[in-house]
Homo-oligomer: A and B are copies of this chain.
Amino acid sequence: MPGINEVAELAGVSTATVSRALSGNGAVSATTKDKVVRAAAELGYVVSSNASSLATGRTRNIGVVIPSLNHWFYSSVLQGAESSLLANGYDLTLYNLAGTGEERDSVFEHFLLRKRVDAVIAISLELTPQETSRLLALNKPTVGVGGPLPGVRTLSIDDVEVARLATEHLIALGHTMVAHIGGTEDFERDFHLPTNRRIGYEAAMEAAGIPVDPDLFQPADFTLPGGYRAAKQLFGNPRKRPSAVFAASDEMAIGTILAARDMGMNVPGDVSVIGIDDHDLAEFFGLSTVAQYPDLQGRLAVELLMEQLHPESREVGGINTALPYDLIVRASTARRRG
């Protein structure tokens, strides 16, 4: 593990010059730079990030706080963020909030404060007021993805619009008995988004002059089994059978498709189904959906941070644009029959 002075010696220059040559800060003649680079390569020299951080106050490391790793959306955002950070020469340290309350506390009480990160990305987090203030107290650039974080710049698709679009697709196919599977109250409190999606659904219905029927709403937990159970309730109602279902996530929509099959119903013959996400499995199940791009959202979050961390070298444009989403029509939606 060679240090900077060994490189300096080999190259026949001072350590300061080595530092300058390797970091690009400060002018170095082309020839010395070349010498230094060679020497460093020969020795296999790599800066000690600790020493460097201590001297500069910057760590080239950013913290990502995530509610859980086992969800398609979160891990996709994480994947996008990781890859983009890597490209920018940053490390990513991961804080997972799943697990006991104690673990969660210790993230906020100890870990984030260790001065180990230059900035933090918070994925779909709904924090307690205390946690939020801890986060803000870090006084570091922070950006949220997918969750509303008071006081923090947040990246999120327009859930109301996305839900409206999905619902309109169903309505345009002639459906009027359009059911909605959305978040449970618990879930709503934690993530807000289900409420927004429900609002978009209701807006689309009302705009089409179709009264919103509370019996056509079923809460679920955003999982496939949850969607399955909710759909069975909907389909089993002898009085009102929906001809279309808008589920607030693809996993629930897939559960809905499976429930329909199990009840002997044909999708889309007897019932149309649409979700939100464009989950990995959506294509396999022929699921129509509104795609969002969590990977891209993770990348964008990193861009945003980089702008704040390196204000000089970046142009600012393009970040404030709304996040993209697209209606993707597959085999699970069709014109109302009869």
Known: A99-B83, A115-B49. A70 touches B61 (CB 8 A): no
Does A107 make an interface contact (CB < 8 A)? yes
Known: A46-B115, A93-B91, A116-B49. A70 touches B72 (CB 8 A): yes
With CB as the reference atom, state the residue of chain B lying closest to A51. Answer: B54
In the docked arrangement, what's the CA distance between A89 and B224, Å?
A: 35
In the docked arrangement, what's the CA distance between A108 and B106, Å?
A: 31
Stretch from A74-82, A232-240, A263-271, A304-312 that touches the partner: A74-82
Min C-beta distance of A230 to chain B, whole Å = 14
With CB as the reference atom, state the residue of chain B lying closest to A117. Answer: B91
Contact check, A225 vs B284: say whether CB atoms are below 8 A apart.
yes
Which residues of the partner chain B approach A75 to less than 8 Å between Cβ atoms? 69-70, 75
| Cβ < 8 Å to B, chain A residues 29-56 | 44, 46-51, 53-54
Does A280 make an interface contact (CB < 8 A)? yes
Known: A70-B72, A70-B76. A94 touches B92 (CB 8 A): yes
Does A59 make an interface contact (CB < 8 A)? yes
Min C-beta distance of A119 to chain B, whole Å = 15
Which residues of the partner chain B approach A113 to less than 8 Å between Cβ atoms? 44, 46
Does A1 make an interface contact (CB < 8 A)? yes
Contact check, A114 vs B79: say whether CB atoms are below 8 A apart.
no
With CB as the reference atom, state the residue of chain B lying closest to A114. Answer: B49
Does A185 make an interface contact (CB < 8 A)? no
Contact check, A92 vs B91: say whether CB atoms are below 8 A apart.
no
Contact check, A1 vs B115: say whether CB atoms are below 8 A apart.
yes
In the docked arrangement, what's the CA distance between A95 and B86, Å?
A: 9
Does A261 make an interface contact (CB < 8 A)? yes
14 contacts between A and B (CB under 8 A): A48-B54, A50-B54, A50-B59, A61-B93, A61-B116, A70-B75, A83-B96, A83-B103, A86-B99, A86-B103, A86-B111, A93-B93, A224-B281, A224-B284
